[in-house]
Amino acid sequence: EKQRSILLDSSSRFPPPPGVKLSYGTSGFRADASILQSTVFRVGILAALRSLKTQSVIGLMITASHNDVSDNGVKIADPSGGMLSQAWEPFADALANAPDSLHLVQLVDDFVRKENIPFEGLESAEILLGRDTRPSGESLLEAAKKGINSIVGAVAVDMGVLTTPQLHWMVRARNKGMKATELDYFDQLSSSFSKLIDLIPHGNIVNTMDKLIVDGANGVGGEKLVVFKKVLQFLDLEIRNSGKEGVLNEEVGADYVQKEKVVPRGFAPADAGMRCASLDGDADRLVYFSVIPNADNRICLIDGDKILSLFALFIMEQLSILNQNECGGENNSYPATLGVVQTAYANGASTDYLKHLGLEVVFTPTGVKYLHEKAAEYDIGIYFEANGHGTILLSEGLLHWLDGRSSKPSLTSKGSEQQKAALRLLAVSKLINQAVGDALSGLLLVEAILQHMGWSIHRWSELYHDLPSRQLKVKVVDRSAVVTENAETVVVRPLGIQEAINAETAKYPQGRCFIRPSGTEDVVRVYAEASTEEAAVNLANSVARLVD
């Protein structure tokens, strides 16, 4: 009863914006920041209930990633550090759209009963809050606190300005009983990075490499990198667009660079030949690029697919060393399964390349929650979206076995190649964020592997050549009218449209094309690939006309 009146009272202070229907999409709720107070307040309630239900620490992140600075958004990190369980998304939608506080209290009441959420006011709940650098973040974070505080026993811990992956990492670490401050995060990343550098085979340290220039998207990633740089060894970093210079995501950042394939602000022809990287607005995406000399600001893009390919090569090398039989005798190898996960946006050339390496490549719909889930089925699962969001997951079983390999001299002689390979994979598991794609940790792994291989950005870029591709978006009244199947490669509704797409695609050598409704914007996206730039553009345009 007391709980009921607190909830009624506090929620009446956060009326929902009239005439807006929000849905918890691939990245939580996102909208213009001015209409989000009520939504964020309600997600605070949701996070508290999730914490009560799981009896674990939960995260709540306020960010709109690569979207405009005037937008914002909110999403929840589950106990593992991953995305909110999909089973709770319908409740999230219902809660966000409840017309008034009476309906809201009723919804909460029903849900608590249905989900058997312990709710005597005796249990405690803890929610870590983080936000990116958007100016609207501060007051939205207050709204989240109010939501959390309206659930008896729930405590909000304000972690301040963080990258999205930092918050996910902290939630995961806390639930494993580990320390989870930003300092702990930086410590773990920098020590595992140093470890990988220590383990570089002699002779490969050809390029105590030239510096890396990072575009921080004028957001939280750039800001954090400036701090991190001070404790980071073995890497010469220059950080641009770290926040002071310009507007968040405005002609800067990973999304801009990947979609437009031009240099971000702050970069110039004089940077040609340098190794450059771009983070997105909340630092969960990473792409690399180099500026093409005398080419009108065009770049040579190294996207998520190529980062995935680099990671896969390195992992395969370590697994193959581990499987070489040292004494020619008994075989102690661990039958580790390795799989890579992509979406339909992966460049066809990358998929061909990965398959030629002998890798198992599987596809899921867009949205990291799907990729992550799939990758977790392997001992080592590597997933990346072409836009640069991805990570590597390593199973507990494999880590345990590697621990044995690296420490028991009876299994591998000390200083042997096998021991080093085991130590490298263990370092990767500490460096790369196991909760979610993380641009900062991904960047360090890329840098460590390039040094390990002795590769320049050019050598890396030459692994394969991307097929020309084109992305368009078509504004539609109702994007839900488009229904897809088979990892979004086939349209099943509206009827007949897939046949029309097939007919268009067949006109182009190496043509591939698909459409899907966006999960974050009111648009239908068109992706086309073909043997030439012109063909890809034409194919995309003609299919976009089918959608219109």
Interface positions with ligand NG1 (CB under 6 A):
26-27, 65, 345, 366, 385, 387, 389, 518-521, 525
Helix axes 304-323 and 439-453, enclosed angle (nearest 10) = 60
CB of residue 65 to Zn ion, shortest distance in Å: 3
Binding-site partner at residue 405 among ligand NG1, Zn ion, none, CB < 5 to 8 Å by type: none
65 a catalytic residue: yes
Look up tokens 């709770």; give the residue. Answer: 88
Residue 518 interacts with, from Zn ion, ligand NG1, none (CB under 5-8 Å by kind):
ligand NG1
Binding track, positions 133-162, relative to Zn ion; x by CB under 5 A: ------------------------------
| Cβ closest to ligand NG1, residue 85 vs residue 471 | 471
Give least dist CB 449 to ligand NG1, A: 23
Which residue, among 312, 317, 322, has the nearest Cα to 402 in the 3D structure? 322
297 binds, among Zn ion, ligand NG1, none (CB under 5 to 8 A by kind): none
Closer CB to Zn ion, 223 or 282, in the complex: 282
- The CB-nearest residue to ligand NG1 is 519
Return the one option of ligand NG1, Zn ion, none that residue 282 interacts with (CB less than 5 to 8 A, by type).
Answer: Zn ion
Cβ closer to ligand NG1: 127 or 368? 368
Strand partners, 394: 380
Please identify, using beta-carbon distances, which residue of 278 and 366 lies nearer to ligand NG1: 366
Of 78, 215, 284, 529, which lies in the binding site for Zn ion, with binding defined by CB under 5 A? Answer: 284
Partner touching 447 among Zn ion, ligand NG1, none, CB below 5 to 8 Å by kind: none
Query: How many residues belong to the site for Zn ion (CB under 5 A)?
Result: 4
Distance CA 347, CA 389 (A): 15
Q: Which is nearer to ligand NG1, 65 or 80 (CB)?
A: 65
Task: Tell me how far, at minimum, the Cβ of 289 lies from ligand NG1, in Å.
Answer: 16
Residue 452 vs 516, nearer CB to ligand NG1: 516
Coil/strand/helix, residue 326: coil
Q: How far is the CB of 229 from ligand NG1 (least distance, A)?
A: 27
Answer whether 279's CB lies under 8 Å from 239's CB.
no
38, 51, 65, 441: the catalytic one is 65
> Would you count residue 282 as binding Zn ion (CB under 5 A)?
yes
CA distance 495 to 491: 8
| Phi, then psi, of 281 in degrees rounded to 5 | -60, -25
Which CB sits closer to ligand NG1, 169 or 345? 345
The SS3 call for residue 69 is coil
Q: How far is the CB of 521 from ligand NG1 (least distance, A)?
A: 5
- Residue 298 is given by DSSP the state B
CB 223 within 8 A of CB 242: yes
Interaction partner, residue 498 (ligand NG1, Zn ion, none; CB < 5-8 Å by kind) = none
For the segment 49-68, give every residue that binds Zn ion (CB under 5 A). Answer: 65
Answer yes or no whether residue 280 interacts with Zn ion by CB under 5 A: yes
For residues 58 and 79, is the Cβ–Cβ distance under 8 A?
yes
At its nearest, how many Å lie between ligand NG1 and the CB of residue 258? 8
The CB-of-261 to ligand NG1 minimum distance in angstroms stands at 14
What is the 3 state secondary structure string of 472-531?
Answer: EEEECCCHHHCEEECCCCEEEECCCHHHHHHHHHCCCCCCEEEEEECCCCCEEEEEEECC
Half-sphere exposure of 302 (CA within 13 A, CB side): 27
Neighbouring C-beta atoms of residue 2, cutoff 10 Å: 8
Q: How far apart are CA 401 and CA 443, in angstroms?
A: 27
Three-class secondary structure assignment of 451-472:
HHHCCCHHHHHCCCCCCCEEEE
What order of strands is seen across the sheet that includes strand 523-529?
A: 469-475, 523-529, 512-517
Torsion of CA 99, 103, 107, 113, to 10 degrees: 180
Partner interacting with residue 366 (select from Zn ion, ligand NG1, none; CB below 5-8 Å by kind) = ligand NG1
Give the 3-state secondary structure percentages of the chain, helix then strand then coil, rounded to 5. Answer: 45, 20, 40
H helices of 278-416, in order, are 304-323, 348-356, 368-375, 396-407
Is the CB of 33 or the CB of 152 nearer to ligand NG1? Answer: 33
Residue nearest to Zn ion (CB): 65
As measured in angstroms, the least distance from the Cβ of 538 to ligand NG1 is: 20
Rank residues 174 and 525 by Cβ distance to ligand NG1 and give the closer one: 525
Residue 280 binding: pick among ligand NG1, Zn ion, none (C-beta 5-8 Å cut-off by kind):
Zn ion
Structure tokens at 262: 């031009």
CA-to-CA separations, 453 to 250, 311, 314, 337, in angstroms, rounded: 35, 11, 9, 23
Do residues 16 and 40 make contact, with C-beta atoms less than 8 angstroms apart? Answer: no
Least distance in Å: CB of 391 to Zn ion? 13
26 binds, among Zn ion, ligand NG1, none (CB under 5 to 8 A by kind): ligand NG1
10 Å Cβ neighbour count for 135? 11
* CB distance 241 to 215 below 8 Å: yes
Cα–Cα distance, 434 to 230 (Å, whole number): 24
Write out the residues near Zn ion by the rule CB under 5 A: 65, 280, 282, 284
Residues with a catalytic annotation lie at 65
